[in-house]
Amino acid sequence: MNREGGAGQHEAESIDSGWVRGQFVGVRSRAHRFTRGKGAYTLPATPQPVTQDHLREALETHGHRFTEQRGAVHRFLAGTDSHPTAEEVFHGVRGELPAISLATVYKNLETLVACGMALKLTYSDGSSRYDGRTDPHHHARCEQCGTVRDVPGNLPADVISELESCPSFRVTGYRLELTGVCSACA
């Protein structure tokens, strides 16, 4: 959510990808951003296919080159809904690129985050997990095992507007995370 003046509708583009029927498929979403007063709210939209060229374009737009390592890290991240740590991405990508280093994985994850191709979920204990889904969504985190899951749904625009009214603070976005105990740990 970005705060903008004026009213109207703007189109924004984001990239998302995942596995469909056992095959990796990417989607490029066109989202419609509605502005009302001081707030802007992005609504989910129609998916379009994402190719390696789209990843290359996103990287180049942000001043980065496409590399096989970046492609492999993105494919792994986009192909899982487990919100892996950098170490888990490292172990997953090594099957495709045995010579890749953990430092390279960390660098490539940060590059993907900087280009808007992934999200970095950080926690107060200093740990981080990565999410290949970049569309607006929420998370549930198990306090015992650390597993993170996607939660369907979005907060209604009127709730977001109410939260924006925090005095002496300009809201630029929000992140909702439910905490508790997963069924495996219960």
Q: Let me know if residue 34 belongs to a domain.
A: yes
Pairing mode, if any, of strands 177-180 and 138-142?
parallel
83 CB-contact burial (10 Å; exposed 0-12 / middle 13-18 / buried 19+): buried
Q: For residue 128, what is the domain's CATH number? A: 1.10.10.10
Torsion of CA 48, 49, 51, 55, to 10 degrees: 30
pLDDT tens-digit readout, 79-130: 898 999 999 999 999 999 999 999 999 999 999 999 999 999 998 888 899 9
pLDDT tens-digit readout, 134-156: 888 899 999 999 899 998 887 88
Q: Let me know if residue 2 belongs to a domain.
A: no
Q: How many domains does the chain have?
A: 1
The domain in which residue 160 lies consists of 8-180
Q: Let me know if residue 146 belongs to a domain.
A: yes
Share of the chain above pLDDT 90, in %: 46
